[in-house]
C-alpha cells in the first residue's frame, strides 16, 4: 500500500492469467478513452481483463473485450460493459507495435488496469504464447525457488 501511495498509482485489476499463459517481452503504458460512468465504475474496482486483448487498426490502438461493469448511479446513461475502448499511445509506439505484432506469435495483452495521478492507464505486454511444457517448467521453477527460500529461512532461524 505504501508503494502505491509513493508512486501515485492505484491498481484497479490485474490480469494474472496473462503471465501464466504468455512470455512478456516488453511492456507499454497506454491511456484509455473512457466515458464518465466507466471511470466511476473503475474507481469502485469493477473491471475484468481476463479475455481481453489489444488490437491495432488503421494506425490506432484499441482495447477489445475488457469488461467494465455498469455504474449503478448512471441510470439510463450507462455504458456497454465490453465495448471497444481506444488506447492513447504515441504514433511511434503504435508503429513499433504494428511491426512487432505482425511477427509470428506476438500479441498485445493487457496486464493491469490502474490509475496514475488520477488518469486511467492500462499496462500492455508484448507477449508470445507459452506451450503446455513451458507452463509446467515455470511452475517447477517456482516450487524449487520456494523450497530453497524456505530452507534458507530455517537455517537462519537455527543459528
The string of pLDDT tens digits covering residues 105-120 is 789 999 999 999 989 9
CATH number for position 115: 2.40.280.10
Task: Judge whether residue 5 has pLDDT over 70.
Answer: no
Q: Give alpha helix (H) positions in the chain.
A: 2-7, 16-21, 36-43, 91-102, 132-158
Contact (Cβ atoms closer than 8 angstroms) between residue 55 and residue 74: no
* Inter-residue contact 53 to 65 (CB < 8 Å): yes
Residue-number span of the structural domain to which 39 is assigned: 2-130
> pLDDT of 118-150, one tens digit each?
899 999 999 988 889 888 998 999 999 999 999
Residue with cell 499496462: 123
In the numeric block, which cell numbers belong to residue 140? Answer: 517447477
Contact at 8 Å (CB) between 98 and 108? no
Number of structural domains the chain divides into: 1
Provide the pLDDT for residue 120. 92
On whether residue 42 sits in a domain, the answer given is yes
Amino acid at each position: 500500500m505504501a508503494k502505491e501511495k509513493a508512486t501515485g498509482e492505484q491498481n484497479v485489476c490485474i490480469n494474472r492469467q496473462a503471465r501464466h499463459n504468455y512470455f512478456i517481452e516488453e511492456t507499454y503504458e497506454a491511456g484509455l478513452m473512457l466515458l464518465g460512468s466507466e471511470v466511476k465504475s473503475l474507481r469502485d474496482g469493477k473491471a475484468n481483463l481476463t479475455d481481453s486483448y489489444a488490437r491495432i487498426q488503421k494506425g490506432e490502438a484499441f482495447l477489445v473485450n475488457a469488461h467494465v461493469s455498469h455504474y449503478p448511479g448512471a441510470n439510463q446513461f450507462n455504458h456497454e460493459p465490453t465495448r471497444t475502448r481506444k488506447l492513447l499511445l504515441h504514433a511511434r509506439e503504435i508503429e513499433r507495435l504494428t511491426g512487432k505484432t505482425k511477427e509470428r506469435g506476438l500479441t498485445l495483452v493487457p496486464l493491469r488496469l490502474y490509475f496514475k495521478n488520477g488518469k486511467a492507464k492500462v499496462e500492455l505486454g508484448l507477449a508470445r504464447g507459452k506451450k503446455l511444457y513451458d507452463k509446467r517448467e515455470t511452475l517447477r521453477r517456482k516450487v524449487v525457488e520456494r523450497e530453497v527460500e524456505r530452507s534458507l529461512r530455517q537455517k537462519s532461524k537455527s543459528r
